[in-house]
């Protein structure tokens, strides 16, 4: 046989052997990550009380409507979670998995079922921290999601469709980074990792892992082809860096610290970019400046296009919202913007945004526990509970059904206008007045429901 042919055949055999070795190494790496991470991923079963909406309840009360349905019933929600602190039993998951849950049960890979309590929730990021008391549990280390690259391999671990399918592992790549407007009808802080690793209902709250075995995302949402709820190759995860910040605040403070700039912003259209001779549509256009806000104090004006914030290039308005909210309040920040075709740098000192919600849930300080959660009245909450958005007071968004407040007749959607004889103008005022009232061991609340106001008195739990 020709010597050159022999050499070519030998080289080909060597190449095929090397490729086979690489494939085996890659397959082994995926299996190692899955084996290491699986014990730290849990299945979450949350029992929720579902209430029929008001219109259906009225229809349900007609005598010819049979059978008579209950005004509320129990429902079981399935999700996933990730143990991120084995010593303290902290678990990261999605807020929508445990929202409104009255009983939360965690199933570990060894089939142990353990009750969990809520440490804190953050609807704005759709994240929550819950806690279990258990020995011999494993955690997944947090990775740096900023290091992710499009095309990088990732694994998704969770419980799709059923607890019987717990610890299912799927593989894919990072399809895109920084996805926003994924859920346009919400006011979430959106900065999603997009992946084609299969994510299905029940995977929410589960782990997205890099090949180092680090947690780089919390699986949260899927894009479907319409009414079908199954995976279509497009899934979204909350970056671990956002989750790390939210988790730390929830554990240490009980709420998430966020900054605000005080501007209403929109996209930079093609026409605007052409008119101002901008090379790209990156940035956020200021359409309104809030009075007495950090933006107004610093000199930001309507029509400004914010291009950079603290050296980070701003892609769009959603990106600016995320960057501002994660910046520490009280520190000076540099804003690079375009005004009337000229580039300007403005220094702005961000302020902490007023918390929308003040919780008095069962895991809070029992000395001032009312068993209710209140929020400042926003347009979104006004629409949800059918109240006047200009109403004075704070609105009840959650209530412990075992609390004295619930026993007294207070319900979700009620507006608290006074504590005793003192007016309530915000959640901070409400919190202060409740703190003063705790010394008397009972409290008197003036509550507005519809057009009628009534006083409710009960002992503080």
Q: How many CB atoms lie within 10 A of CB 102?
A: 12
Strand partners, 418: 423, 446
Strand partners, 344: 337
Q: What is the dihedral of CA 371, 376, 381, 385, to 10 degrees?
A: 50
Q: Which residues of 315-338 are buried (b: 16+ CB within 10 A; e: fewer)?
A: bbbbbbbbbbbbbeeeeebebbbb
SS3 321: helix
Phi and psi based region of residue 420 (left: phi greater than 0; alpha: psi -120 to 50; beta: remaining): left
Q: Which entry of 80, 96, 298, 333 is annotated as an active-site residue?
A: 96
Q: Which entry of 168, 204, 240, 359 is annotated as an active-site residue?
A: 204
Nearest Cα to 139, choosing from 242, 213, 240? 213
Annotated active-site residue 191? The verdict is no
Annotated active-site residue 319? The verdict is no
Q: Which entry of 80, 122, 126, 359 is annotated as an active-site residue?
A: 126
Phi and psi based region of residue 220 (left: phi greater than 0; alpha: psi -120 to 50; beta: remaining): alpha
**Exposure of 289 by Cβ count < 10 A (0-12 exposed, 13-18 middle, 19+ buried)?**
buried
> What is the CB-side half-sphere exposure of residue 322 using CA atoms within 13 A?
25
Q: What is the dihedral of CA 159, 162, 166, 169, to 10 degrees?
A: -50
Annotated active-site residue 204? The verdict is yes
What are the φ and ψ backbone dihedral angles of 116, each rounded to 5 degrees? -125, 150
DSSP string, 119-144: EEEETTTTEEEEE---SS-----B--
Q: Which residues are catalytic?
A: 96, 126, 204
């Amino acid at each position: 046989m020709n010597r050159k042919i022999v050499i070519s055949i030998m080289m080909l055999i060597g190449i095929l052997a090397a490729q086979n070795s690489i494939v085996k190494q890659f397959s082994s790496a995926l299996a190692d990550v899955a084996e290491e991470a699986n014990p730290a991923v849990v299945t979450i079963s949350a029992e929720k009380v579902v209430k029929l909406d008001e219109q259906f309840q009225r229809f349900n009360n007609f005598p010819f409507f049979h059978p008579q349905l209950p005004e509320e019933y129990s429902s079981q929600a399935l999700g996933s979670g990730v143990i991120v602190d084995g010593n303290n039993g902290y678990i990261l998951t999605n807020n929508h998995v445990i929202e409104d849950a009255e009983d939360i049960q965690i199933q570990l890979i060894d089939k142990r079922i353990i009750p969990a309590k809520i440490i804190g929730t953050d609807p704005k990021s759709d994240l929550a921290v819950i806690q279990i008391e258990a020995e011999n549990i494993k955690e997944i280390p947090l990775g740096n999601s900023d290091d992710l690259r499009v095309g990088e391999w990732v694994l998704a671990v969770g419980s799709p469709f059923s607890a019987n399918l717990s610890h299912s592992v799927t593989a894919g790549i990072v399809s895109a980074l920084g996805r926003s407007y994924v859920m346009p009808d919400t006011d979430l802080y959106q900065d999603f990792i997009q992946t084609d690793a299969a994510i299905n209902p029940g995977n929410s709250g589960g782990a997205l892992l890099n090949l180092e075995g680090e947690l780089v995302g919390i699986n949260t949402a899927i894009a479907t082809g319409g009414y079908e709820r199954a995976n279509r190759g497009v899934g979204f995860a909350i970056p671990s860096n956002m989750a790390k910040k939210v988790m730390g605040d929830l554990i240490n403070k009980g709420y998430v610290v966020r900054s605000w700039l005080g501007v209403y912003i929109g996209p930079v259209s093609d026409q605007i970019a052409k008119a101002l001779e901008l090379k790209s549509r990156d940035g956020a256009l200021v359409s309104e400046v809030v009075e007495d806000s950090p933006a107004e104090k610093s000199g930001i004006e309507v029509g400004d296009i914010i291009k950079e914030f603290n050296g980070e290039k701003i892609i769009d308005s959603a990106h600016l919202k995320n960057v501002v909210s994660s910046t520490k309040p009280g520190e000076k920040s540099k804003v690079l913007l375009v005004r009337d075709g000229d580039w300007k740098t403005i220094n702005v000192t961000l302020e902490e945004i007023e918390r929308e919600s003040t919780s008095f849930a069962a895991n809070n300080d029992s000395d001032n526990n009312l068993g209710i959660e209140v929020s400042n009245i926003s347009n979104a909450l006004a629409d949800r509970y059918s109240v006047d958005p200009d109403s004075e007071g704070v609105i009840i968004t959650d209530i412990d059904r075992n609390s004295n407040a619930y026993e007294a007749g207070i319900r979700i959607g009620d507006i608290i206008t006074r504590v005793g004889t003192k007016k309530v103008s915000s959640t901070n005022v409400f919190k202060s007045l409740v703190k003063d009232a705790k010394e008397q061991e009972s409290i008197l609340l003036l509550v507005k429901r519809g057009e009628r106001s009534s006083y409710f008195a009960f002992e503080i739990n």
